[in-house]
Amino acid sequence: MTDKEIVKLEDVWVYYDGAPALEGINLTVEQGDFLGIIGPNGGGKTTLLKVILGLIKPSRGKISIMGEPPEKRHSVVGYVPQYNLFARDFPINAIDVVLMGHCGRTRLFKRYSEEDRKSARSALKSIGMLDYEEHQIGKLSGGEQQRVFIARALVSKPKLLLLDEPTSSVDAATQTEFYETLEGLKQRMAIVIVSHDIGAVSIYVDKLACLNRQLFYHGSSEISPEVLEATYKCPVQMIAHGTIPHRVLKEH
Amino acid sequence: MLEALQFEFMQNALIAGLLASVACGIIGVYVVVKKIVFISGGIAHASFGGVGLGYLLGVNPVITATFFTVASALGMGLVSKRTKLPEDTAIGILWSMGMAMGIIFIGLSPGYAPDLFSYLFGNILTVPTSDITLMIILDIVIAVIVVALYKEFMVLSFDEEFGRVMGVPVERLYLLLLCMIALTVVILMRVVGIILVISMLTIPASLAKMCTTNLRKMMLLSTIFGAIFTFAGLWLSYELDLASGATIILVSGSVLLISLAVSKIRSRRNRIKKLSTTAFNSHGNK
C-alpha cells in the first residue's frame, strides 16, 4: 500500500440472494482524488457505498481503508447520506445534527464535550453555516440542509468524503454552489460522489467511473459514449443546460 | 374533588398519574419522532399475555406483565429486524399472539378473573401502593437509561444508518428502546389500560412537538401535558362518574385535535396577512 492510498477494493463481489450486485470491483481512491461514480438505479451504487462504509461485507474479495478493514476505520470516512431521507420535522437544530459526527467516539454517560462543540462550530463555519446553528434542520433550504450534513461528515476530520446522490432534488443554482463547496474541500480530502446524474457530476469531478454491477473506470472525467452505453445498457445523450459551466468532450 | 383527596385511593391515583406522565413523556417522544407507533401498539397489546400469566400463577399481574412485555418487545424487535417477514407483518403476528396467550392463561387459571377490565381499560382509582412502588422503580430505570444514552438515542431516532456508519450499536439501542417502551406500557397499564396505552404514548408527545424543536424540551413539555391530561381526566371522571382511563384519553385527544385546528387556522391567517402585505408593498412601490 502506498501512503497516498485511502480506499482499495480488490476483486470485490457482493451477492443478494444469489444474484450478483457487484461483480469483481477493483477501485483505488488516493489522496486528492475527486471521483464521480455514476450508473443507473439498481446498478449497485448503494451497495458499493455500503461496502466502503463497512455496512456490507463483500461475499468475495478484499476492501481496505488506509490498510485496515472499514469497520476499524469509522472516522476516516465522512459520509453524507442522500439528504432527502430524513424526517424534516424532527426536533433537532443544525448544530446538534453536526455534533452527531462525534457520536462514534464519545463514551456512554458522557455529553458532547466543549471541544466537540468547538469542532462542530468550526465545521459549520467552514461551509458558511455558522449563523444557522440554532435553526431547526427542516426550516433550512435544501442546499443549506445539505451543507449541514457535509459539516457533520467533516467534524471527524475524514480523509475521504463519501456523498450519496448529493444533487438529487436540488435546483441548478444550489447544485453549482454545492460543487463549489466541494471544490474548496478537495485539498484536504479525497471526495467520492455517487450519482445517477451523469451531467452534473461529470462537469466537476476529476475522475469518473461508471458502475453497472461492473465498474468501468476512467482516469479522466471524459467519458466515451460506448462506455456510457455499456453502463446504462442503452444509448445515452449527454445534456448540458444554459449557463452551467460545462466541459465539451472530444469526439470519439 | 378536593374533599376526595383525603382518601388514599385518590392520592394514589394522583401519584400514579404523575408517574405515568413521566414515563410516557420521555418514551412517548421517541415513539413519535422515530415513528414507531405500530410496534408500540404491538408491545402494549402483547402485555396482556403477561397479565394472564399473573392470574395463572397467582401472583401480581403487573409483575409478570413486566417480564412478559419486555420479552415480547425483544421478540418483536428481533423478528422484525432479523427475519424475512416484513416488519409490520411480524408486529401484527406477535401482537395477537401475546393477546391470545393472555386469553389461554386466564382460561386455565382457576375461578373468575377479578378486575381484568382494569388491566384492559385502566382504573387509576384502584392502583394499590405496591404498584406505585414498582412504577417508581420503572420510572427511575427509564430516566437513567435515557440520560445515559441521550446522544445515542438521538442518532438512532434521527439517522440510524449514519449511526451504524459511525460504529454506534444501533440494533442493540433499538432493542433497548423497545424494552423501555415495554416498561412504559406496564406503568401506564393501571392508569389507562392496555388497549388505551398507545394514546398516552402519542398524544402528549405530539402536542409537545408542536411547541418546540428541542428534544429535551419536548420530553419536559410532554410530561407536563401528560400530567395535566391525567389530572383533568381524573377530575372529570370523578365529577361525571365516568371510566377514568377513557376520560383521560378523550380529554387529551380533544385538546390535541383542537390545537391542530387552531394552528391550521393560525397559519392560514398568517399566509393571508403575508400575501396582503406583499400586495400592499408592491402597490406602494409603483
Q: Which chain A residues are within 8 Å of B163, Cβ to Cβ? A: 100, 103
For the stretch A154-184, pLDDT in tens is: 998 888 999 988 776 667 777 787 888 888 8
Number of domains forming the structure of chain A: 1
Q: With respect to residue A237, please indicate whether it lies within any of the assigned structural domains.
A: no
Q: Give the relative orientation of helices B170-192 and B8-33 as an angle to the nearest 10 degrees.
A: 150
3-state secondary structure of A61: strand
Nearest to A106 among B151, B161, B214 (CB): B151
Q: With respect to residue A37, please indicate whether it lies within any of the assigned structural domains.
A: yes
Q: Which chain B residues are within 8 Å of A55, Cβ to Cβ? A: 161, 164-165
Q: What pLDDT score was predicted for residue B283?
A: 57
Kindly list the domain boundaries of chain B, sorted by start residue.
Answer: 3-285
Interface of B with A in 27-86 (CB under 8 A): 33, 35
Closest chain A residue to B159, measured at CA? A86
A137 in Cβ contact with A148 (< 8 Å): yes
Instruction: Tell me the CATH number for domain B3-285.
Output: 1.10.3470.10
Q: With respect to residue A80, please indicate whether it lies within any of the assigned structural domains.
A: yes
CA distance B70 to B77: 11
Average pLDDT score over chain B: 91
3-state secondary structure of A95: helix
Nearest to B161 among A81, A92, A99 (CB): A81
**What sign does the CA torsion over B74, B116, B204, B246 have?**
positive
Name the CA dihedral angle for A171, A77, A214, A247, rounded to a multiple of 10 degrees: 40
Q: What pLDDT score was predicted for residue A141?
A: 84
Place of cell 405496591: B130
Which of A234 and B131 is assigned the larger pLDDT? B131
CA distance A18 to A21: 9
B206 in Cβ contact with B185 (< 8 Å): no
CA distance A50 to A58: 10
Contact A103 B155 (CB under 8 A): yes
Residue B45's closest CA among B182, B195, B202, B199? B195
Domain residue limits at A59: 5-232
Name the CA dihedral angle for A182, A185, A187, A188, rounded to a multiple of 10 degrees: -140
- Which of A50-64, A186-200, B30-44, B88-102 is predicted with the least confidence, judged by mean pLDDT? A186-200
B263 in Cβ contact with B207 (< 8 Å): no
Q: Which chain B residues are within 8 Å of A145, Cβ to Cβ? A: none
pLDDT in tens, chain A (252 residues): 556 788 888 899 999 888 888 888 888 888 888 888 888 888 888 889 889 988 888 998 988 888 888 777 777 888 888 866 788 889 999 999 999 988 876 566 778 888 889 999 999 988 888 899 899 998 888 888 888 998 999 998 888 999 988 776 667 777 787 888 888 888 889 999 988 777 767 777 888 888 888 888 766 555 565 666 656 654 444 443 334 444 444 444
Contact A152 B162 (CB under 8 A): yes
* φ/ψ (deg, to 5) at A3: -65, -30
B51 in Cβ contact with B99 (< 8 Å): no
Q: For residue A24, what is the enclosing H or E element?
A: strand A19-30
User: Any idea what the CATH number is for the domain that residue A136 is in?
Assistant: 3.40.50.300
B216 interfaces chain A, CB cutoff of 8 Å: no
CA distance A226 to B284: 60
Q: Which chain A residues are within 8 Å of B148, Cβ to Cβ? A: 108-109
3-state secondary structure of A9: strand
Q: With respect to residue A51, please indicate whether it lies within any of the assigned structural domains.
A: yes
Disruptive mutation site among A57, A76, A84, A90 for chain B (greatest number of B CBs within 10 Å) = A90
Disruptive mutation site among B30, B209, B213, B217 for chain A (greatest number of A CBs within 10 Å) = B213
Q: Show Cβ contacts of residue A100 under 8 Å, excluding neighbours closer than 6 positions.
A: A152, B151, B154, B155, B158, B159, B162, B163, B166
Q: Which chain B residues are within 8 Å of A100, Cβ to Cβ? A: 151, 154-155, 158-159, 162-163, 166
Disruptive mutation site among A100, A107, A133, A156 for chain B (greatest number of B CBs within 10 Å) = A100
B13 in Cβ contact with B7 (< 8 Å): no
A231 in Cβ contact with A216 (< 8 Å): yes
B238 in Cβ contact with B1 (< 8 Å): yes
Q: What pLDDT score was predicted for residue A214?
A: 86
Exposure letters B230-249 (e unless 16+ CB within 10 A, then b):
bbbbbebbbeeeebbbbbbb
CA distance B190 to B197: 10
Q: With respect to residue A241, please indicate whether it lies within any of the assigned structural domains.
A: no
